[in-house]
Amino acid sequence: MPYEFEIVIPPGKKRERLDTYLTAHVENATRSKVQKAIKDGTVLVDGKTVRPSHPVTGGEIIHITLPKPPPQDAEPEEIPIDVVYEDNDLMVVNKPAGMVVHPAHGNYHGTLVNALLFHTQALSTLNDAAVRPGIVHRLDKDTSGLLVVAKNDVVHAKLARQFSQRTIVREYHAIVWGVFKEKEGTIEAELGRSKSDRKKMAVVSGGKPAITTYTVIRQFDYLALVKLRLKTGRTHQIRVHLAHIHHPVFGDPTYNGRHIVAGPGTQKQKAEVEQLLSLMPRQALHAKTLGFVHPATGKEVFFDSDLPEDMQEVIVELQKGGNEERENGGKGEWETMRL
């Protein structure tokens, strides 16, 4: 089945070549593939075929039909992984930032699945049984933290059911922009693919329901450390929800986290932010805690991980500056912080 979708060019868009625009705003697109699709007539602008050099402007509707690439089998690769827990039924791993979870177009090597296949290949030799890793949930490439991996279909199905029934405990820590008026809150906004940029998700009417709760752990002058819990599991949910309430995740290049969106905007702050961004080349988001009922034993299990080094370094630098705001203006923290 081909893959069909529409892109609506935002009003006021500066004139830009069609092939250039689509390469930048369609997931897994390359300039050559985009140009071929346009020449093959599978890209229509306001219902008409055009040239790759066609200048797009605000208000145009682009309809795209693309063939789905054939799936590729992942190969085992000797890549170190941080195994937090492991038994005969499942594993809990601490994924580093920068690692893609599952092979996909443009990322068929160096993924967590490639690493797990190598790890479980060694296990199968010991156990005389073929063990294949089953990814139950995912994290964005540049989000670090805990993931549970099933070792057989029965465990995978039982874990997947817990995710669908929202009984899994998933707690994230993030450094985000801005000063919160309230210590706690709930973000409830429907999410879907952005109509102007297929690489992004957005809050859209008629999208999939999504709920995120947050608690401020520590408030600084223009950044905050927050704890987040997911009640749903949508793509980019935390990042989009926080950007939606004007508290984007610090360092996030996709959802406005690498621009100054809070604070005085002075030269001193700009210098501070530049230094902090040099420590944080990604979104400052970490899947810190994971809890679920073990499918084999029926017991509740909880796993916790330390914040990664880059996030810890940003917090240490913020503490050095002494630029912390407190709930009551005094020296007490909202919550004892454990990195």
209 in Cβ contact with 232 (< 8 Å) = yes
Do 227 and 172 form a contact (C-beta atoms < 8 A)? yes
CATH topology classification for 169-325: Pseudouridine synthase (3.30.2350)
Pairing type for strands 90-95 and 43-45 reads unpaired
Neighbours of 95 (CB within 10 A): 24
Buried/exposed 102-121: b ≥16 CB within 10 Å, e otherwise: ebeeeeeeebbbbbbbbbbe
Could you give the CA distance from residue 271 to residue 274 in angstroms, rounded to a whole number?
Answer: 5
* The pLDDT value given to residue 307: 97
The token duo for 156 is 């995978």
CA distance linking residue 16 with residue 31, whole number of Å? 14
Nearest CA to 212 out of 193, 197, 200, 227 is that of 227
Report how far apart the first and last C-alpha atoms of the chain are (Å, whole number): 47
Q: Collapse the DSSP code of 137 into the 3-class scheme (helix H, G, I; strand E, B; otherwise coil) and give the result.
A: coil
| Domain 3-66 CATH (choose: 1.10.150.120, 3.10.290.10, 3.50.50.60, 3.10.270.10) | 3.10.290.10
Residue 324 pLDDT? 56
State residue 308's pLDDT score: 97
The structural domains of the chain, with segments of one domain joined by +, span 3-66, 82-164, 169-325
User: Is-catalytic flag, 140?
Assistant: yes
* 33: its two tokens: 């593939």
pLDDT digit string (tens) for the chain, length 339 residues:
666 878 888 888 888 899 998 888 887 778 888 898 899 889 999 988 999 999 988 888 898 887 766 555 678 888 999 999 999 999 999 999 999 887 765 666 778 888 888 887 644 443 333 445 678 888 999 999 999 999 888 888 899 899 988 899 999 999 999 999 999 999 999 999 998 888 899 999 999 999 999 999 999 999 999 999 999 889 999 999 999 999 999 999 999 999 999 988 899 999 999 999 999 999 999 999 999 999 999 999 999 999 999 999 999 999 986 555 544 333 334 443 445
Q: Could you give the 3-state DSSP secondary structure of residue 75?
A: coil
Is the Cβ–Cβ distance between 263 and 297 less than 8 Å?
Answer: no
Q: What is the pTM of this model?
A: 0.77
For CA atoms 43, 70, 253, 32, the dihedral sign is negative
Per-residue pLDDT at 136: 86
Q: Three-class SS of residue 76?
A: coil
The pLDDT value given to residue 329: 37
Task: Indicate if 169-325 has the same CATH topology as 82-164.
Answer: yes
Return the structure tokens found at 103.
């092979």
Distance CA 97, CA 165 (A): 28
Cα distance between residue 236 and residue 184, in whole Å = 21
CA distance 86 to 88: 7
Give the three-class secondary structure for 192.
Answer: strand
Closest CA to 64 of 56, 72, 76: 56
- Type of residue found at 44: L
Q: Which pLDDT score is estimated for 13?
A: 81
What's the Cα-to-Cα distance from 253 to each of 57, 142, 200, 219, 271, rounded to whole Å?
24, 10, 11, 22, 18
The answer as to CATH 3.30.2350.10 being correct for domain 82-164 is yes
Question: CA-to-CA distance for 107 and 3, rounded, in angstroms?
Answer: 19
Which one of the listed residues 19, 40, 140, 142 is annotated catalytic?
140
